[in-house]
Amino acid sequence: MNIKQFHTLADQLFNKIELFLDGYADEHDIDLDYETNGNVITVSFPNSSKIIVNTQEPLFQVWLATRNQGYHFDYADNNWICNRTNKSFDQIFSEAVKEQADQ
């Protein structure tokens, strides 16, 4: 992977995250906020917890910080995969949102 490919894949992931959050908030009638600032998305929940997603360009990784755990994802087989759990970003992120939204 080169830097251009990494940024394209990370941008696609960030767009997917924003769409997921918009849909989740509407579907579950929850007031969650998110802000994208460069290579960082910060999701804020009514209970004051946060989820932070950011890119680590030198490592070609995406990092996810939840209130309970931190995760590092590498791109493989058309998906962002946690290098510790082998779960997909989508799976871990959606579980974290559900937990932190108290749903």
* Per-residue pLDDT at 69 exceeds 80: yes
One-letter amino acid identity for 97?
V
Averaged pLDDT, 23-40? 90
Q: Which residue has the higher pLDDT, 32 or 14?
A: 14
Domain boundaries, the chain: 3-100
What's the pLDDT tens digit per position in 75-92? 999 999 999 999 999 999
61 vs 10, 97, 101, CA distance in Å?
Answer: 9, 20, 26
pLDDT of residue 103: 61
Burial-class residue 84 by CB neighbours within 10 Å (0-12, 13-18, 19+).
exposed
Identify the CATH number of the domain defined by range 3-100. Answer: 3.30.920.10
* Per-residue pLDDT at 21 exceeds 80: yes
Averaged pLDDT, 38-44? 95
